[in-house]
Structure 1
């Protein structure tokens, strides 16, 4: 099978990759014999891949049906596969962020590899992504790494729910991953406060090759709020870039939902109550709709230590859904005093992890 070198700009959907395409760090981005699609071309451009080898004559490519990935035989197996990928991404992020912390330099190829992995997982996992993330937080990971990965995942999910162009979603995922990078380089002499991390992050990324102005702006402004109550410049409304508005919601959700226990309900209600003040409604509503759909039928622990399942939500009151206990009792938490949601608990997913990730 003969191959030829072709500029990415000249690729046409339907062509066949003749040799594996590697990232600068050696990660396989596209395997040999992969079919070129419009999304493939977009991803290659994002990764600054300018030339690839393709099969010289498409007709000469093996005329065999492409192998279909083996379908997992249970939801637990699907979650195991996701969990392994998620854990690998968190571990890689921790290593890259340790490098930033120690060297005060940004390993752009490695971080783009990680953001590509997150973006690819967002695409491949589909509607169940948020469902998995809700029970998948790694408390043992470095806090900045763990939070950054989760914000990148959630931001990517919001971007797709908003039907943003795929290239914009890719940029959004990278910005979400880097949004708190300034926390890694804040001086330890007490001269800077916590709010200064956005300034330090922007300064760190300002002259780094491969970091776009859109990413830089999202990092700098992700704590700005629509009503002007944010920082560092108290920007308002349309003066805040769209990517920063999205990351603001993803950041607020993860920070509040996972601070002590896994209880996204309180954080969702906070976002719902502030979607016309602090947050952008065009960002909030697709996010709230997606997460609400994921939480229907989810297992929860109540404050009286009974387990239950979410049956129905009031549109805005996320902390007070209608639930069914394992004994079959129907409870409307909006009318019952003294009982609330303690935390989310999905038995099947936890069983998959506790049973071992092979």
Structure 2
């Protein structure tokens, strides 16, 4: 039987890819990656399948799915993409669901080894940030009481270590995808954690440029976030990436992030970001301070709807922590992630200033 070609489009090959994707999906997922992961009433199907093109998809456990390219492909990156660390941040979850569906259907080429993580199904189902405590504050070395999130953090650390084991350090990537609680002057932005390793590469900035992520914040101190953990303990090129604002599943406008979606597909295909057209450079910020909540009597003086990256004049008071006033210590110092209701001892905001960067030995440097 001759293949039917319509204007350069091979119809029979397209149908075969669709049918293969349906067969693979039914073998591994009863519905889709996201729906199966969030349906806590039934167990997930564990195990591996291989597509006709040689891509292997393995479900290790609920929320942890590994994808391995064909044996014939040279793997130059090992990429973790995580989402749902905070349960009410759902845009990345819907995007991940599409990526997995396209992988299974043979519509997304795979040229690197990758691990998809849907971190906190219970919080996602309840559309809440967390159940007992903030999961994204549990990745340092402090001993913490056993609770819902501490168990998840331990599991994430286990799979992260196993995934990066025996891989070249310069081939390790981790993109932890989030959404902001409040609106931002930059609709999308990233945070590069501070680590003792060379984890701020030119390739990382090229990715952000291709993805049209609007800003990059360079952290100035260790933290307890998941991206910091993968950078500090596994030398991964790691970022926390904020994509729009929190919303419920099904209510997100994914069209706003077409460039980000395209850049991820280039990354996973192992094609190199040089193939993606990008003339956009993110605005660069350095973190000047981390504001920690130290007292019960803590609040900001600005309205609840003040946007991330709102700036203040030098000396302007914008809040208080007990008797201590909170004020801008630099000209045009801006606030990001302000949250006066965090637990005592946790981060209540980051303060940032714009900075000019340069590259030395392929790494970001700023004065």
Q: Same fold (TM over 0.5)?
A: no
Q: Which has the higher helix share?
A: 1
Q: Which has the higher strand share?
A: 2
Q: TM-score, normalised by structure 2?
A: 0.34
Q: Which has the higher contact order (CA 8 A, sep 6+)?
A: 2
Q: TM-score, normalised by structure 1?
A: 0.35
